[in-house]
Amino acid sequence: MHPFVKIACFFFLLLLPQYLSASSIAVLCGLICLLAAVLNLPHFSQLIKRMRWLFLSLLLVYAYATPGEYLAFLPLNVAPSFEGLHLGLIQIAKLLIAVASLSALFASASKSQLMAGLWTMLSPLRLVGLNVERFTVRMLLTLHYVEQMAVQPKLKLDFSQLDKLALASDEPGATLPLILAQPAFSWFDKAMLSLMLLAVMGLSLSKFAGAVDFFKVWQA
């Protein structure tokens, strides 16, 4: 699969949950997490481990900040609402889809391939004066230093590290070999792009039609 198509699939998966029901989001989350685990289980499990407190915080915030029907088997003063738990789990599933999609993207393509796809995606911005080659190289260097920081055994991220990361790509010795190989688009790549485009158009039209019907009912 062309790197550009992989990046397009990633953005499509980020957009898709906004149009799905709760049960469909749960199914999609399970499938994407399974794919990420198959491609690179150690990396995906490490991501989930580092985000566990964020997941728990999201669940607690939605569970206790959303009004609704309280769980009957718990005391009233400590019981979360059923609606809050439902919304919290949906938000966690959406976040898991994003994390798993990103993990699968990095596991299925090298950094140079991803940069080639990014270069293809940003090429039209040359018309507004963007130096696509320079931006692509800086992005690759940033990813390189982020990866170097992430593998540190005891990582404590602070603002000084962020400043160093921002200046890393401007250092004289900050050089990496970069090969932007541009493979040809196969018929499968073109079919995938066409299907994603049609899906986005169809979902957007259905969402727009639903909003129009709601507005008509509200006016009536």
Tell me the pLDDT tens digit for each residue of 138-196: 776 666 565 555 545 555 545 455 455 455 445 444 454 555 666 778 888 889 889 98
Dihedrals phi, psi of 132, to nearest 5 degrees: -65, -40
Q: For residue 152, give every residue at least 6 positions away whose Cβ sits within 8 Å of its Cβ, in sequence order, or none.
A: none
169 in the same domain as 124 = yes
Within a domain: residue 169? yes
Within a domain: residue 181? yes
30 in the same domain as 133 = no
Last residue of a domain, one of 109, 129, 155: 109
**Which amino acid would we find at residue 90?**
I
137 in the same domain as 178 = yes
103 in the same domain as 3 = yes
Contact indicator for 5, 189 with CB cutoff of 8 Å: yes
**CA pair distance 144, 169, nearest whole angstrom:** 10
Let me know if 103 is exposed, middle or buried by CB neighbors in 10 A (0-12, 13-18, 19+). Answer: buried
30 in the same domain as 102 = yes
141 in the same domain as 79 = no
Q: For residue 105, give every residue at least 6 positions away whose Cβ sits within 8 Å of its Cβ, in sequence order, or none.
A: 6, 7, 9, 10, 114
Domains: count for the chain: 2
pLDDT in tens, 47-104: 888 888 889 999 999 988 888 888 777 776 778 888 889 999 999 999 999 989 988 9
Which domain does 169 fall in, by range? Answer: 111-190
Within a domain: residue 215? no
93 in the same domain as 131 = no
Question: Residue 156's pLDDT is what?
Answer: 54
Q: Which of 29, 156, 146 is nearest to 98 (CA)?
A: 29
116 in the same domain as 65 = no
Q: Which residue has the higher pLDDT, 54 or 112?
A: 54
Within a domain: residue 208? no
119 in the same domain as 103 = no
Question: Residue 133's pLDDT is what?
Answer: 75
124 in the same domain as 23 = no
92 in the same domain as 25 = yes
149 in the same domain as 116 = yes
pLDDT at 220 over 70: no
Within a domain: residue 128? yes
pTM of the model: 0.75
Within a domain: residue 83? yes
Q: What value does the mean pLDDT take over residues 27-33?
A: 94
**CA pair distance 87, 93, nearest whole angstrom:** 10
